[in-house]
Amino acid sequence: MKNRQLALGVAILAAGSLTGGILGPRLDAAADRSNDRLKTFSQILGIIQEQYVEEVSPEVAIEGAIDGMLKTLDPHTHYLNTAEYQDMMEEQHGSFSGLGIVISKPTLDKPLTVIAPIEGTPAYRAGIRPGDVISQIEGVDTLDISVDQALKKLRGPKGTQVNITVVRPGEEDVLHFTITRDDIPTRSVQYAFMIRPEVGFIRVSNFTQTTDRELEEKLQVLKNAGMNRLILDLRGNPGGLLEQAVRMADKFLSRGQIVVYTRGRTKGSDQEYTASGAGTHIDFPVVVLVNKYSASASEIVAGALQDHDRALIVGKTTWGKGLVQTVYPLSHRSALALTTAHYYTPSGRLIQRDYQSLEDYFYLSKEEDEEVPSEHEIRKTDSGRVVYGGGGITPDILVDSLKLDKFLRQLENEQVFFGFAVQFNLRHKDLDRTFTVDDSTLNDFKKYLTQRKIEFTDEDLKDHEAYIRGSIRKEVFSARWGNEEGFRVFADIDPQIQKALEGFPQAQQLAHLTGDTTTSDSAKEP
């Protein structure tokens, strides 16, 4: 670390000497002030280590000081310790080594439960099932450990083995598995299916190094199945690699159209990214679904397709994360993710929203019922449609997600629908995909609520009947045929997906507006 700091200091002083007699003295003075502060910091650290009432790890103290320094900058500049940096690299590369199961543990006093094995992984091949309770890992009870702690125990180098003990609903004896770890793909394209005749649906969960390849494969599969309209679901997608966002937008744009551009303070931070002309899907209408948890790369794609009138945007205003981070590897296999520029959409909209209040930024976000952006800059799309800047992407059609009251939140938080579906499938092993939730199933569900000691009234069930029926069907399908099948049947009661399906006539009109129009430099503002 000291060598890196020394090299950086030498580089700065050398640059200053080339600019004449003004910059050099200023840099010398700045360096002197920094050295004074570093000396003070070292003194404080030394006093803490010698005199504090309890022993303090210098690593913990220094990392705390680093975090405090970075919090004075912006919400997205942060220090990555060894574990965090490794997790980020695995996510961006699209794979890690482990068993391949999705696990859940709502609270520490709840059992470690398998939500689903990932198809084709070691856990799937070993016969792990949804609803299995992992009671022990390597002979150690799991009741008092968190999901993160469990994942660390389950993951490991490819080819190594892990022993787990499983309690399975409907089985009297506990089950013991010895499973060999393998590379587990972290799929970027979560779901892809035909949601209606001629209408494809693709849900992308993040942007990793495999996103472009996965998306192209799924688009081709759906086109072969008759797709000539597409719903691209970016809801809850927190972003990822800029390069992959550009490649996604490129699939739907014409050569030369700007996807996004960046502006920063340092050399090389001003960049412009344009469509290559290799777009293979520029001839059919597209609807993009977003919500307030769509951020960064998701906003780049939504903003580019909206500004070029290439897609209809449906849902809620996005998060507003338009700060570009550059990751600098450090010593001890750690890293610094430092904000170095801002993102702008083709029309010149700044994606980043205000973060003066971190409480508002992280915890309150935007109001769910926000309909028209207030005090936001106005921009124009290629065809002259009004769009809003100043933070996030405002949809063309604003639609709320499903609203959950206290009763439904309790059912979701305690995984009541999932637990009922596991037991229901055990009693009904001859179900097929024509299954619907009839009154008999609802009565079974009422008995299950009583068994789980969930307080409810007949009015609760009546008021939320559509949601309850849809959620039961979703979890039954997920447990029996996989999460994609569960998501597909739940789409019938998802108001944002239903509005997207209704929006294709408008999306078709936008598709007719697009051509080889490119956005000129004059449309951009820093």
| 307 classed as catalytic | yes
Picking from 297, 343, 311, the residue whose alpha carbon sits closest to that of residue 324 is 343
> Dmax of the chain from CA atoms?
87
d(CA 32, CA 16): 15
- Name the catalytic one among 205, 296, 471, 478: 296
**8 A C-beta contact, residue 165 and residue 136:** yes
d(CA 290, CA 316): 6
Helices within 106-227 (DSSP H only): 122-126, 147-154, 211-224
d(CA 191, CA 232): 10
| 446 classed as catalytic | no
Q: Which residues, at least 6 apart from 296, have a Cβ–Cβ distance to it below 8 Å? A: 238, 239, 240, 245, 319, 321, 322, 343
- Name the catalytic one among 182, 233, 307, 396: 307
- Name the catalytic one among 218, 251, 292, 321: 321
- Joined together, the tokens standing for residue 409 give 């939140």
From residue 110, alpha-carbon distances to 100, 133, 411, 413 in Å are 21, 10, 15, 12
**8 A C-beta contact, residue 238 and residue 206:** yes
Q: What DSSP string describes 352-406? A: PPP-SSHHIIIII-S-TT--S-SS--EEE-TT--EEE-SSS---SEE-------H
Length of the chain: 526
| 296 classed as catalytic | yes
What does residue 308 show for φ and ψ, rounded to 5 degrees?
-95, 15
d(CA 295, CA 76): 12
SS (H, E, C) 65-109: HHHHHHCCCCCCCEEECHHHHHHHHHHHHCEEEECCEEEECCCCC
From residue 205, alpha-carbon distances to 72, 102, 115, 211, 232 in Å are 30, 15, 18, 9, 11
- Helical packing angle, 297-307 and 242-250, nearest 10°: 30
- What is the set of active-site residues? 296, 307, 321
